Amino acid sequence: MPILMLRRRQELGGSGRPVRSAFHGTPRGCESRSEQLERNELHMEVSLSRHPIPYQLPLGSDGYERIVADGTIASKQLLVFLSHDVYDFIRAQSREYAPQEIGGVLLGQYCIDNDTKFVIVPTAVACDLGSATPVSIQFPPEFWQQVEEVHTSEFPGLLRIGPYHSHPGYGVNPSGTDHATILGAFSKPHHISLIYDPHADQIGYTCWDDGALKPPSGCFVYEHREPEDLVKQLMDARPD
């Protein structure tokens, strides 16, 4: 399953300004009417609580050729199954644009098997718009508009599972800026925030449990015999 790259309109390196909100790098007082409507629609999308759909846990399931654990898997919290294609792309993107941060949005499905809740992430939309520095990345309005278009036209049954971004050389724990922006916007039970440190070649994610942010955990990385069929199954599994 290909990862979609949205081309950057500014050179990496940018202004170094901190992200002002999870969706925009523009102060709200400077937003146009269309940008305000877009921000409100995006906020409504990520603020919705979604129920997990019944789906077989990938471990031991037919169709999965290989599933490996990357890092230590935390117990008693949401499990993450990340496509090997997405995993490889995030690593390659991080190294290509080093030392700047990179990022994007993960699309997938929120599932449950008996009492085990998990997300399967078969694809992502990479942000190559806006600006980035070694300690920050800006997700501009144009990026979220294109995420909306890609999501609704190509992957309508999937959910926006959450953002991913890199921390070049400073681990997979969320930063203070992450807490103030991304984590505040993506804070529902099906949301995760994935962080990759290219210096340590380490990946981890945080998730929410009863309103509390869990410590970073490793994730499962999978390969599937028919990745496009898997995406179709995951989209069809959520009729709403």
DSSP 113-133: ETTEEEEEEEEEEEE-SS-EE
Contacts of 202 (CB under 8 A, 6+ apart): 71, 171, 172, 196
Other Cβ atoms closer than 10 A to 11? 9
Q: What is the pLDDT, as a whole number, of residue 13?
A: 33
Nearest-Å Rg of the Cα atoms of the chain is 17
CATH of domain 4-236: 3.40.140.10
The separation between the first and the last C-alpha atoms of the chain, rounded to the nearest angstrom, is 23
Q: Which residues pair with 128 in a beta bridge?
A: none
Q: What is the pLDDT, as a whole number, of residue 97?
A: 92
Residues 212 and 221: beta-carbon distance below 8 Å: no
Burial grade of 204 (CB within 10 A; 0-12, 13-18, 19 or more): buried
Q: What is the pLDDT, as a whole number, of residue 239?
A: 72
Which residue stretches of 59-140 are H helix? 84-96
Q: What is the pLDDT, as a whole number, of residue 185?
A: 87
Alpha-carbon gap, residue 238 to 157, rounded angstroms = 6
Burial grade of 157 (CB within 10 A; 0-12, 13-18, 19 or more): middle
**10-residue stretch averages of pLDDT, the chain, 240 residues long:** 42 28 30 42 56 94 95 94 97 93 96 97 92 91 94 95 95 90 88 96 94 94 97 90
Joined together, the tokens standing for residue 130 give: 């806006």
Q: What is the pLDDT, as a whole number, of residue 4?
A: 54
Alpha-carbon gap, residue 109 to 106, rounded angstroms = 10
Polymer length in residues for the chain: 240
Q: Which residues pair with 202 in a beta bridge?
A: 197
The DSSP code for 24 is -
Q: What is the pTM of this model?
A: 0.82
